[in-house]
Structure 1
């Protein structure tokens, strides 16, 4: 049997690495990831985990150390945030193109400038096309479970890609909640020892690792990498099912659906706002609005088919984004969703940007988003992108346009 403890997101991630028996770790502290490094150091010092923790001078060095470790057969772990991720970008993209199954906790934070150390998702979404699988979490329990699952996904012979387990800085990294810590013996049954042989340093069989590569061969490399990314969808689903059978917990695989069975409108969320959205959805259901939620759990590979299927009977979509595409002036989830339907007819979709710089995505804001999405579903018009805190939202005026609606909404007018 395992045990129950109260863990914040960073400590849950450390426990995930411990249970996965990561035997080589290297990380450089940066807010809000810093406690993760401290927990790992305590685990090693106290003998809780049998691993080497390398003290490095930068994030660039941290990931470079782990690349050598994987090539020598180790199971490796690290974590970073924001500017630390920017500093490690060179080895970061090299990790994926060399097909090294490293797992890294990405504790999301705004990027500078303006100067900020607060939560946001801009760092992770900026590198979403660097070849790493991205799993996004909603709770400390999901963080722990996803770290362990990530190794089984990354080390699969049909995948062999690194995995980021992303969780929102401060709102998850520093929030403490009840977590079930599974028994080590059971985790060992779920996750066997690593057997990375596709590229390996061996003095008795010397090879050139990452040599200068001509165009035709590089094209083949890229094609195989893209194929592996696509194949990971199947492996993620298989790992999900196995985890559910062994531990009784399920996070929905590529996407997590909430009250979508009879929904007429849908919210789409990424990361921590999904928890608040669940409560808002329940309340608005009591007011007669049939709203559900799609939580994007895996941003890469993007779950096109799964989202398209979930939205088949939806009349309008409201997207909650804690990030922004500088080029398009809309959130990344919104931008990604626009590609899901291709040339097919899609329901009207509107975007709500908030939670930047550590600000909250509040219950009232999410209820506003639901009311506006319902208004659009009924044929009303509204601007494509709304910035919470900047754009005035008059929900009561919207509802006065609907003559037959007797719904009395409290606490949702902006």
Structure 2
């Protein structure tokens, strides 16, 4: 059934249709509307056999989800930004214990300085924590991926982050195809845990493990991620059979067959990139797009196969590792390391800065003319940057960087320089 709704509402409905038994909630923008919607459904009786637990922090939210999952309940929570950082210890515990929790990460920048808008810094900070990470391009895909996430998590007994761009998707109204409960029930069977705390069959979960076994435990966590590389496409195909649409999988190629240049990205920016590529294709330019849906596990072989024929790869990423550069681009380089293809890292959209078609047109023309640097910051204001660097060189007490920039650009009155 088609419905015009906010992205957060669509995700809340998808989670409810997945029949969670415990929902742990602590508000932080931009995910709050999701847990608010689920809370309203539990209170009204629209979502039954589910305990909605208000907690005092993000750390508590995931800790309660860990306890619920260990006890055999289908558990869900959501967070963003600093909230994800606050629960970092529990993030590692959930994956280390092999608990199939599903968590929405409504991607948002990490401070300081404080910023509530979208980029991918938060989930990328947890990329090596042992969770599966899948990224949604649209609200329809965000809805669909949550239903698939429960199936994937419970089959592997691993937690899954479903990452959707904060505000750009969570607060946007789009037309989505809302599944029927019977469809979801057909696709997602009742939860049958691989491990459970049962007083009648006592076991230890979270035992101390010394050097004699720790490497093997960590390797098996890696082995499960490798199993996910096979399972995720299988689940996506089953989803297509039940719901009649392609959604999920490892990667999404677009106009890539004869491309000389490919643009790789994650999340909602893929829509703008595809529009830009359509414009360039109309001019006869051979450029394509490769969207990454599964960032963890990283689909090295799938990316390697999809890009075998291209001359250059441009990775547009909404995050970067300070002191070295691109994050996603380094993973892409590992997929094509034995080839002569250049992999260009383009840092864009940090803190919610718009990624426009005009900027993408200019960027891709520079790439195809072999004029692009290996590391590029899209639409960076070099005048402001150089002014700050000069001030710091001239003045010992040059003041906080962020506040200085705001004064320089006229957002607040200037008393510096």
TM-score with structure 2 setting the length:
0.89
Give the C-alpha shift of residue 247 in structure 1: 0.9
Per the alignment, in what secondary structure is the counterpart of residue 39 of structure 1? helix
CA contact (8 A) 1:264 1:315 kept: yes
Pairwise mapping of residues 133-152 of structure 1 onto structure 2 (< 5 A)?
Answer: 133-152=132-151
Deviation at 1:387, TM superposition (A): 1.1
Counterparts of 1:37-52 in structure 2, within 5 Å, are 37-50=35-48, 51-52=50-51
Q: Structure 2: how far apart are the matches of 1:346 and 1:106? A: 36
- 1:259-270 equivalent positions in 2, closer than 5 A: 259-270=255-266
Q: Shift of the alpha carbon at 1:384?
A: 1.2
The runs of at least 4 consecutive aligned structure 1 residues that moved more than 3 Å come to none
Aligned to 2:326, which of 313, 325, 331?
331
Describe how 1:238-277 pairs up with structure 2 within 5 A: 238-251=234-247, 253-277=249-273
Unaligned runs of 5+ in 2: 383-417
Distance between the aligned counterparts of 1:120 and 1:28, measured in 2? 21
Q: Which moved more, 1:354-363 or 1:330-339?
A: 330-339
2:399 corresponding residue in structure 1: none
Matched, 1:340 2:335: yes
Deviation at 1:134, TM superposition (A): 0.3
Aligned to 2:313: 317
1:90 aligns with 89
Matched, 1:178 2:172: no
| Shift, 1:7, TM fit | 2.1
C-alpha deviation, 1:36, in angstroms: 1.2
The worse-fitting range, judged by mean Cα deviation, of 165-174 and 360-369 is: 360-369
Seen in structure 2, the aligned counterparts of structure 1 residues 391 and 341 have a Cα distance that, compared at 3 Å, is farther
In the TM superposition, what are the counterparts of 1:10-409 in structure 2 within 5 Å?
10-50=8-48, 51-156=50-155, 159-197=156-194, 199-251=195-247, 253-328=249-324, 330-342=325-337, 344-376=338-370, 381-390=371-380
- Measured in 1, the distance between the counterparts of 2:287 and 2:45 equals 49
Structure-1-length-normalised TM-score: 0.90
CA offset at residue 4 of structure 1? 1.4
Do the aligned residues in 2 keep the contact of 1:322 with 1:331 (CA within 8 Å)? no
- Structure 1 unmatched runs, 5+: 393-414
Offset of residue 341 of structure 1 = 2.1
Measure how far apart 1:9 and its partner are: 2.1
Number of matched pairs? 381
User: What's the offset of the Cα at 1:129?
Assistant: 0.5
Asked if the contact 1:7/1:140 (under 8 Å) is kept, the reply is no
Counterpart CA distance in 2 for 1:130 and 1:148 is 22
Mapped contact 1:30–1:80 kept (Cα < 8 A) = yes
Structure 1 residue 5 displacement after superposition: 1.0
- 2:145 and 2:247 in contact (8 A); partners too: no
Contact residue 144 and residue 247 of structure 2 kept, 8 A: no
Displacement of 1:391: 6.3
String of CA shifts for 1:346-373, please: whole Å, max 9, x gaps. 3122222111111111111121222122
